[in-house]
């Protein structure tokens, strides 16, 4: 999709398949100077009460005109409740509606008063607010325009929208242009995550994903990618990763993505320590010997979505030239049952020497992350964040509304919660009572991988991972099992992988970058 910013186009010369007119609930006409014929259509639809302006509500009307053949009324809901997240989802909903109508070119009226006051991470003033609204619209329409038909032998007509013109009533300044560029960069990253996560596991093996990371580096100045093969993984004594992978014919990989920007200096003039992201990369999860039920198992190809999100986030940081040093670590493996698979009752040694008793081979994510978190310590990071589609328990608790957030750092938690609301990549802070850690004690090893009674499993997984973080370094665990995948399509995107929480991570890095520059 080609996105074009435009300040004014005479309506009598406007050529497009559809014009999107945004309205708040209760508004009887558009605030923009539309042609009389279009105004009459809008007024007639509103008077009929077929369209009332609710958030994500759409109404498509044929105009019969030669310039714009259809008008799509788009609801933004109550004005006082409108946010960047609603703007993003609403405009995405309009694009989904117009894709179904086989539109190829669309004109979008940018509602500059959609979000009053400050809008977006670190924004200030009207100009920045308008820029953030443009960015949200661009993000929404690109997310909605995504499609995947790569593995169909008979290619269907994709019905993608080829061109979107964003009509901005006020001046299109550098800030607004930068917001559009930022949005396109982020959605390119989301497309990377969605494409890999949607790919069948017989294609997207650990080797394939590792090679995809290398290809991403070739296209991204400033991004370097290093891949450890099985021999190097053995040399690092990554027992958790090796154990999970040993049941599969596909050997494991360990991917290191690194971007060295222009980091700040601390009070003593030394460069600030890097930010390390660790992502779970299970390319397919059968549950291993602790085999999952067959129903829904086909979706387990997205169990590497956390790892893909980490790769994409580091690449986006490089493209945006953020003032920081960011490292992404992704352990990749396929969890399969076979005569060589690891088993319940086995004792596995993690790379830091910790021994772990296995109770369920279906709790493989925490095993590979343990090695990833141990390796993160080598960088002496300022903060570590791991992202993983880790537990069904977090899906039961939060569904697809938010990712689970686990951390002892209140300041980081508050920032991520705020940015989650702004970006739509919501997180919900979950408890980590220290006394629950006793449930992970093992009679035969240092730790049990899961407690004997699997209660509060999302929290217990976080408490397990905490053992492999540095007590002196802030650590955050994000369980995105419920947000990384949508079994059914929704109004502003198709079913499948979502790319969450890339938007949140990028906004957080930007927030940190502003503090570092200061």
Active site residue 292: yes
Give SS3 for 20: strand
Give the C-alpha distances (Å, rounded to integers) separating 487 from 170, 270, 296, 399, 481.
40, 48, 9, 12, 12
The CA distance from 307 to 396, in Å, is 22
Phi, psi (5° rounding) for residue 185?
A: -65, -45
Express the helix, strand and coil content of the chain in percent, nearest 5 each.
40, 20, 40
The length of the chain is 518
Task: Give the orientation angle of helix 174-198 with respect to helix 125-145, to 10 degrees.
Answer: 30
The structure tokens 């035969």 sit at: 444
Phi, psi (5° rounding) for residue 220?
A: -125, 100
* Residue 444 CB neighbours (<10 A): 9
Q: DSSP assignment of 247-278, as one string?
A: TSSSPPEEEEEEEE----B-TTSPBPPPEEEE
Q: H or E segment at 179?
A: helix 174-198
Active site residue 126: no
Q: H or E segment at 355?
A: strand 355-357
The CA distance from 302 to 299, in Å, is 6
Give the C-alpha distances (Å, rounded to integers) separating 245 from 263, 359, 363.
36, 17, 13
The one catalytic residue among 142, 366, 426, 466: 366
The one catalytic residue among 126, 163, 273, 292: 292
The CA distance from 226 to 217, in Å, is 10
Report whether 203 contacts 249 (CB < 8 A): no
The CA distance from 208 to 514, in Å, is 36
Closest C-alpha among 261, 254, 262, 260 to residue 281 = 254
Helices (H) and strands (E) in the chain, counts: 13, 20
Report whether 492 contacts 56 (CB < 8 A): yes
Residue 486: strand pairing partners: 496
The CA distance from 380 to 207, in Å, is 28
| Residues labelled catalytic | 292, 366
């Amino acid at each position: 999709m080609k996105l074009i910013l435009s300040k004014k186009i005479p309506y009598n010369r406007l050529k497009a398949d559809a014009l999107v007119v945004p309205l708040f609930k209760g508004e009887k006409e558009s605030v923009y100077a539309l042609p009389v014929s279009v105004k009459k259509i809008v007024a007639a639809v509103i008077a009929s009460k077929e369209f009332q302006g609710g958030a994500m509500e759409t109404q498509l009307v044929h105009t019969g005109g030669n310039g714009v053949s259809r008008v799509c009324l788009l609801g933004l809901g109550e004005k006082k409740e409108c946010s960047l997240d609603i703007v993003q989802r609403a405009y995405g909903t309009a694009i989904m509606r117009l894709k179904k109508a086989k539109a190829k070119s669309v004109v979008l009226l940018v509602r500059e008063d959609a979000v009053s006051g400050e809008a977006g991470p670190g924004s200030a003033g009207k100009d920045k607010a308008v820029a953030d609204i443009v960015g949200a619209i661009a993000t929404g329409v690109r997310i909605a325009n995504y499609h995947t038909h790569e593995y169909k032998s008979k290619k269907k007509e994709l019905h993608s929208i080829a061109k979107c013109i964003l009509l901005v009533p006020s001046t299109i300044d550098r800030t607004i242009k930068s917001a559009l560029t930022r949005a396109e960069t982020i959605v390119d990253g989301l497309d990377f995550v969605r494409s890999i996560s949607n790919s069948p596991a017989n294609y997207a093996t650990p080797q394939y994903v590792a090679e995809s990371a290398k290809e991403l580096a070739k296209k991204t100045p400033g991004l370097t990618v290093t891949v450890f093969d099985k021999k190097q993984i053995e040399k690092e004594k990554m027992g958790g990763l090796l154990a999970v992978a040993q049941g599969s014919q596909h050997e494991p990989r360990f991917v290191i993505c690194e971007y060295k920007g222009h980091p700040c200096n601390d009070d003593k003039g030394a460069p600030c320590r890097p930010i390390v992201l660790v992502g779970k990369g299970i390319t397919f999860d059968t549950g291993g010997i602790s085999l999952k039920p067959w129903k829904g198992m086909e979706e387990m190809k997205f169990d590497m979505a956390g790892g893909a999100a980490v790769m994409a986030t580091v690449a986006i940081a490089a493209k945006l030239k953020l003032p920081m040093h960011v490292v992404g670590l992704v352990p990749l493996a396929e969890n399969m049952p076979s005569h060589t698979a690891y088993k319940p009752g086995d004792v596995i040694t993690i790379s830091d020497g910790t021994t772990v008793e296995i109770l369920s081979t279906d709790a493989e994510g925490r095993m590979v992350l343990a090695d990833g978190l141990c390796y993160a310590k080598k960088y002496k990071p300022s903060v570590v964040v791991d992202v993983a589609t880790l537990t069904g328990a977090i899906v039961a608790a939060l569904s697809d509304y938010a990712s689970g957030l686990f951390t002892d750092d209140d300041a980081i938690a508050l920032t991520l919660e705020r940015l989650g609301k702004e970006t739509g990549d919501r997180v919900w802070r979950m408890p980590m009572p220290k006394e629950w850690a006793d449930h992970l004690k093992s009679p035969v090893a240092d730790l049990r991988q899961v407690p004997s009674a699997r209660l509060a499993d999302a929290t217990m997984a976080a408490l397990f991972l905490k053992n492999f973080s540095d007590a002196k370094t802030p650590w955050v665990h994000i369980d995105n099992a419920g947000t990384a995948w949508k079994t059914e399509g929704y109004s502003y995107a198709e079913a499948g992988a979502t790319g969450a929480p890339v938007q949140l991570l990028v906004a957080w890095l930007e927030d940190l970058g502003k503090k570092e520059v200061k």
